[in-house]
Amino acid sequence: MLEGLFQPMHLLVIFFIALLIFGPKKLPDLGKGIGEGIRALKSGMKETTEEATKVAAPPVDTKTSDTSNRPS
């Protein structure tokens, strides 16, 4: 369905349209802003998955054993 969507010619046309709309002075700033946004999104997703794994699987305490409650 999406195969061939981002062929090199398509990307060049998209870049040319963006250059016409934003101009050569604004385009680097726009790219920088998009890059920073993607990095922030990735780090936020990483933090969220790390927190979720900590909550889902709490560390096992190996110092205390639960054998004291069993009858002898």
The pLDDT value given to residue 45 = 92
Threshold 0.75, pTM exceeds: no
Is the sign of the CA dihedral 6, 10, 11, 14 positive or negative?
A: negative
d(CA 7, CA 5): 6
Backbone angles phi, psi at 58, to 5 degrees: -65, 150
Backbone angles phi, psi at 15, to 5 degrees: -65, -40
pLDDT along the chain (72 residues), means of 10: 74 89 88 92 91 73 60 56
The pLDDT value given to residue 32 = 93
d(CA 48, CA 61): 24
The pLDDT value given to residue 44 = 92
